[in-house]
Homo-oligomer: A and B are copies of this chain.
C-alpha cells in the first residue's frame, strides 16, 4: 500500500471518472460496489509489478482501473448467479437494484475496461486481458458444472479456482511487465507469481467461509455452505470422513438439504479432519511458489511489497 499509494489514488480517480455514463443508474450502482471497500488487490498488483519491472510512466493507472472494472463486472454477475445478499457486509447490488441492472452494469463495466485498454493502445495487453476474461467466464461455468458435487478430485477444484480467480491475478501482474517492455521471461515470471498468489488467495477465502475470524471481513460465515459450493475444505472433510460424515456432506452440499445446526456440524467435521488447517497448508504451498516466481527480479522495495502481499493473503486466515 505504501509503495503504490499515490498511484492507487490516481487509479481510484480514474475509476470514478470512467464509470460515468448518461444512464445515471450506471455510476450509482457501479459506485456502490466499487466504493464498498474492496481491497483493490488486483489493481495494486498491476501497479507494483510495473514498478518491479522498472516501468516509468502513467500507463499503469488506466490499466489498473481496467483490471478493477473486469473484477467488478464479474463480482456483479457473480452476485446475480449466486443470489447473494451481502458482499463485504453491505447489501449487494442485486438486492438493492435487482438482478437486471446488475447484469447490465456488469456488461457496461466490462466494455469500459476494453475501451480503456484500446485507448492505452497495446494489443499485447488486450490479448492478456481478453484471454483472462474468457478464462474467468469458463471457470465460473465449470464451478456451476461441479456445483453440489462433493466427489470431484482436488485437481478439478484447482482448475476451477485457477480459472475463476487466479487468471485475473495472473493477468494483472503480467501486464505490469508488458508495459515495461521486459520480454517474455519477466512476463511469464509475473504471470506465474500472480496465478499462484490467486490460488492461495482463493484457498484462504474458502477456509474463511467456515471460520469465525471471518466476521471481521464483514462476510457471513457459511455462505459457501448454504449455497452448496464445493470448496477444498469440504472436499478434504468428505474424503477423510466416515460413512456418516459423507452422508452428511452429500445431503447438505450434494442435495442442498440443510437443517438448523448443520453449519455447526460442518465446522465440527472440518476441524475433526484438519480440513481447514490443511487447506491453509495447501495455500502456503502456492504462496511459496508465488514467492519463488519473483526470484529472477532484483531485491528491493517492489519485490518486498509483492512478497508482503503473499504473506497478507495467507496470514488473514489467522
Give the B-binding residues of A (Cβ under 8 A): 21-26, 73-74, 77, 80-81, 99-101, 103-108, 110-112, 114-115, 117-118, 121, 123, 126-127, 130-131, 133-134, 136-138, 140-142, 144-145
Residues of chain B within 8 A of A114, CB atoms compared: 114, 126, 130, 133
Q: Which of B101, B115, B142 lies in contact with A144, CB distance below 8 A?
A: B101
Q: Which of B74, B81, B104, B142 lies in contact with A137, CB distance below 8 A?
A: B104
Whether A144 and B74, one on each chain, are in contact in the complex, defined by CB atoms closer than 8 angstroms, is no
**Listed residue (A80, A106, A108, A127) with the most chain B CB atoms within 10 angstroms of its CB:** A108
Whether A103 and B77, one on each chain, are in contact in the complex, defined by CB atoms closer than 8 angstroms, is yes
Residues of chain B within 8 A of A25, CB atoms compared: 141, 144-145
Known A-B contacts A114-B114, A114-B133, A121-B123; A23 and B141 likewise in contact (beta carbons under 8 Å): yes
Give the nearest-CB partner of A133 in chain B.
Answer: B111
Whether B131 and A115, one on each chain, are in contact in the complex, defined by CB atoms closer than 8 angstroms, is yes
A142 to B118, CA, bound (A): 25
Residues of chain B within 8 A of A22, CB atoms compared: 138, 142
Measured between C-beta atoms, what is the minimum distance from A186 to chain B in Å? 21
**Listed residue (A106, A107, A121) with the most chain B CB atoms within 10 angstroms of its CB:** A107
Residues of chain B within 8 A of A77, CB atoms compared: 103-104, 107
A105 to B138, CA, bound (A): 8
Q: Could you write out 26 A-B pairs with CB less than 8 Å apart?
A: A23-B142, A23-B145, A24-B145, A25-B144, A26-B138, A74-B107, A77-B103, A77-B107, A80-B103, A81-B99, A81-B100, A100-B144, A101-B144, A104-B137, A104-B141, A107-B110, A107-B136, A108-B137, A111-B134, A112-B134, A114-B114, A114-B130, A117-B130, A118-B126, A123-B123, A126-B126
Residues of chain B within 8 A of A126, CB atoms compared: 114, 118, 126
Known A-B contacts A107-B133, A118-B127; A138 and B21 likewise in contact (beta carbons under 8 Å): yes
Measured between C-beta atoms, what is the minimum distance from A230 to chain B in Å? 15
Whether A140 and B99, one on each chain, are in contact in the complex, defined by CB atoms closer than 8 angstroms, is no
Whether B26 and A107, one on each chain, are in contact in the complex, defined by CB atoms closer than 8 angstroms, is no
A80 to B99, CA, bound (A): 9
Measured between C-beta atoms, what is the minimum distance from A242 to chain B in Å? 33
A107 to B108, CA, bound (A): 11
Residues of chain B within 8 A of A99, CB atoms compared: 80-81, 99
Known A-B contacts A127-B118, A130-B114; A138 and B23 likewise in contact (beta carbons under 8 Å): yes
Whether B105 and A137, one on each chain, are in contact in the complex, defined by CB atoms closer than 8 angstroms, is yes
Q: Which of B81, B103, B118 lies in contact with A81, CB distance below 8 A?
A: B103
